[in-house]
Amino acid sequence: MFSHEARAALLPVEAAVVLVNAQNGVEAVTERVWRFAEEANVPRIVVVNQMDHPKAGGGGGLSALVDDLVDRWGRNCVPVQLPISDAQGFHGIVDLVTMEAFYYTPGGDGRGKVTGEIPASVAADAKLRHEALVELVAEGKDELMEMYFDTGTIPEEHLITALHEAIRDDRIFPVLFSSGLANMATDHLLDFIKVYAPSPVERAPFAVRNPTIEAVAASADQAEAADDPKAFRKVADSGPAALVVFKTMTDPFSGRITFFKVISGVIKNDATLENYTRRGQERLSHLSVMQGRKAIEIPELHAGDLGAVAKLRETLTGDTLGQKGAEIQVDLTPLPEPAMTYAIEPKSRADEDKLAPAIHKLMEEDLLIRFFRDPQTNEFLIAGAGQPHIEAIVSRLKKRYHAEVTLKAPKVPYRETIRAKVEAPGRHKKQTGGHGQFGDCKIRMEPLPRGTGFEFASEVFGGAIPRNFIPAIEKGIVESAVRGYLAGYPVVDFKATVYDGSYHDVDSNEMSFKMAGRIAFRKAMETAKPCLIEPIMKVEIEAPDEFAGTLMGDLNSRRGRVQGMESKGRTTVINAEVPMAEMLTYGSLLTSMTQGKGSYRMEVDHYDIVPQLVAEKILANAKRPVEEEEE
């Protein structure tokens, strides 16, 4: 449910470490993160963690786990280490590049590493996997292939350089093994990243936009200027100073902390940079690098470095800053739309006062959070990636800002519409002494295609109704439509045409004709075959193949219509259209049906008629709008 955070983190990094659980193997979320990195062209290093678990390998052993990785992600997914395990558990690893064994003390602090001989139990396997690694590294490099055929191997110094280049170029995805809990082989992982992962200056230049050129092209409609508004900014100290903000965090003591990646140039402490996105200037005081939650102040940052600075006035996630006159804009990876929405209600008046400011601070940190009021139900709604994401937001509201709220399933924004073309009169006449009230109109109502809304037209001729009273009739119809007819839900997707009527020289006024419009609307609704319509969600569900049948059966039971299925490796993606009323609590049920391996996202696609049996239940629990003054 927090995979959007992983996706956003791919912009500032040069390589991604994809973690695989040694017991469960590749899970649905792992597959998603892999695809994110693939789309972002980020080199990947696979780390199989929890090797100290008794069920590491998932019952099929190491070979089965590696075969699964190769089956999913291709033969370029190759081990560069071999775990040393026996009946007593995980003891260390064999480095398949240097062909050395490293042993750790179980339950220690990870520092008890000693170098030793490769144990006989894995020696043969290590030799075979070393040869496979050398052969894969040599592919595509004529000089290395020649060296390999001549000697049967590649010298270690050449192999290290070639492996570094292969990882940088996305030709090899190395597989390593570790135990994070026991802190075993994690030091070797860090050493591997330092030696083999690409450095910032080796990454491809950043794709940037030039807002000035785009503005000129848009205003002057110059095709030649718009041909290539994109450019590239190389990661180098020699370029103009520029940075992109990839994350914002609010700290109770330090205030807003801004995390950024230096795109080019050198950023010095107390430098003043222009915010190209918001057209303001920011002073970068107390320039820092983060070590965990601790900020270490430094005098300057170079191209490719990650830094942090506190208390910037206007800068938010996604902004690009730099020196004046070298304006660029770096676009962040587009985030998915929120998958789940809840109604949120403060527990007390004090919580209500704190709620909006606190949520807006959280929205600065997490761009996927949405907070808004539904104009139809008048509920405050909060949307996020899923139930765990929204629950985490609620927890942060309480811990950081002492604002307690209650989560509820949102009300379904039903609407009403008509299915028949009808005509109806509306006459409002009242005499109470002195000037009276008189308005008389005849309207025609007809259904419109779904999603059209409301249209109004006038076919009055010959002065039957003065022109200045026509808008009052429209206003009366609109006000009645908003209040609904069957159950108080707005009436939509219809056209009302006033085609005749009469007036009184003295007693007619706008209020009279507005009331006449209301009366005509209600009379028309009586015979226009009114019905309820409900929002239909476009749903995309992603889960391992073995759960596809169960999920499709469940969707059918929810009045869903499966639109198609797609296979991605061992994951199935189901696209369906399901009524919103059936999806309000789907997140927890999906977790239960897929053992926590499934995920979904949805958005409103269109409205459709509610089946009769379902509509009867809704109408039985709804209050019909109070009738206003009749004729």
Residue 67: pLDDT over 90: no
How sure is the predictor about 211, in pLDDT bands with cuts at 50, 70 and 90?
A: low
The domain boundary, picked from 176, 198, 220, lies at 198
* Domain shared by 505 and 477, yes or no: yes
The pTM (predicted TM-score) of the whole model is 0.71
Q: What is the mean pLDDT of the chain?
A: 85
d(CA 64, CA 60): 5
State the CB neighbour count (10 A cutoff) for residue 294: 8
Please report whether residue 624 resides in a domain: no
Which residues, 6+ apart, have CB-to-CB distance to 622 below 8 Å?
Answer: 486, 487, 488, 489
Distance of alpha carbon 251 from its chain centroid, rounded? 24
State the CB neighbour count (10 A cutoff) for residue 451: 9
DSSP 281-326: EEEE-S-EEEETTEEEE-SEE-TT-EEEEE--SS--TT-EEE-TT-
* Domain shared by 436 and 522, yes or no: yes
Residue 598 confidence (pLDDT): 81
Please report whether residue 558 resides in a domain: yes
* Domain shared by 492 and 608, yes or no: no
Strands (E), 470-616: 494-502, 531-544, 561-568, 571-579, 599-609
- Whichever domain contains 302, its CATH number is 2.40.30.10
Please report whether residue 347 resides in a domain: yes
Lowest mean pLDDT among 23-32, 70-79, 197-206, 601-610: 23-32
- For 507-553, what is each residue's pLDDT tens digit? 888 899 999 999 999 999 999 999 999 999 999 898 888 899 999 99
* Domain shared by 83 and 184, yes or no: yes
Strand 114-116 versus strand 44-49 pairing type: unpaired
Residue 85 confidence (pLDDT): 84
Residue 534 confidence (pLDDT): 92
Q: Please give the average per-residue pLDDT across 45-52, as a whole number.
A: 91
d(CA 395, CA 382): 14
Residue 65 confidence (pLDDT): 85
How sure is the predictor about 60, in pLDDT bands with cuts at 50, 70 and 90?
A: low
Q: How many domains does the chain have?
A: 5
Q: At what angle do helices 142-151 and 156-168 cross, to 10 degrees?
A: 140
Q: Which of 38, 43, 51 is nearest to 17 (CA)?
A: 43
Please report whether residue 546 resides in a domain: yes
* Domain shared by 265 and 314, yes or no: yes
The domain boundary, picked from 167, 198, 229, lies at 198
Residue 613: pLDDT over 80: yes
Residue 302: pLDDT over 70: yes
Please report whether residue 329 resides in a domain: no
The domain boundary, picked from 391, 408, 425, lies at 408
* Domain shared by 80 and 159, yes or no: yes
Do you know the residue count of the chain?
Answer: 631
* Domain shared by 35 and 49, yes or no: yes
Q: Please give the average per-residue pLDDT across 49-75, as a whole number.
A: 80
* Domain shared by 260 and 287, yes or no: yes
More confident residue, 1 or 585: 585
* Domain shared by 524 and 391, yes or no: no
Residue 570: pLDDT over 80: no
Lowest mean pLDDT among 105-119, 312-326, 500-514: 105-119
More confident residue, 305 or 217: 305
Residue 214: pLDDT over 70: no
Residue 218 confidence (pLDDT): 47
Please report whether residue 327 resides in a domain: no
Radius of gyration (Cα) for the chain, nearest Å?
A: 33
State the CB neighbour count (10 A cutoff) for residue 87: 4
- Whichever domain contains 344, its CATH number is 3.30.70.870
Residue 155: pLDDT over 60: yes
The first and second tokens of residue 540, run together, are 């995309």
* Domain shared by 455 and 495, yes or no: yes
Handedness of CA 155, 161, 167, 171 (dihedral sign): negative
- For 385-432, what is each residue's pLDDT tens digit? 777 788 888 998 888 888 889 888 888 888 999 999 999 999 998 877
Most distant CA pair in the chain, distance: 116
How sure is the predictor about 43, in pLDDT bands with cuts at 50, 70 and 90?
A: very high
Residue 17: pLDDT over 80: yes
- Whichever domain contains 129, its CATH number is 3.40.50.300
H-type alpha helices, 96-243: 120-138, 142-151, 156-168, 186-196, 211-220, 223-226
Please report whether residue 625 resides in a domain: no
* Domain shared by 250 and 317, yes or no: yes
- Whichever domain contains 458, its CATH number is 3.30.230.10
- For 447-456, what is each residue's pLDDT tens digit? 999 888 899 9
Domain residue limits at 603: 533-617
Residue 215: pLDDT over 80: no
Residue 254: pLDDT over 90: no
User: Are 309 and 255 a contacting pair, CB within 8 Å?
Assistant: no
More confident residue, 81 or 152: 81
Residue 507 confidence (pLDDT): 83
* Domain shared by 34 and 143, yes or no: yes
How sure is the predictor about 578, in pLDDT bands with cuts at 50, 70 and 90?
A: very high
Residue 149: pLDDT over 90: no
Please report whether residue 628 resides in a domain: no
Residue 313 confidence (pLDDT): 85
Strands across the sheet with 255-264, in order? 280-284, 271-275, 320-322, 242-251, 255-264, 306-310, 288-291, 294-297
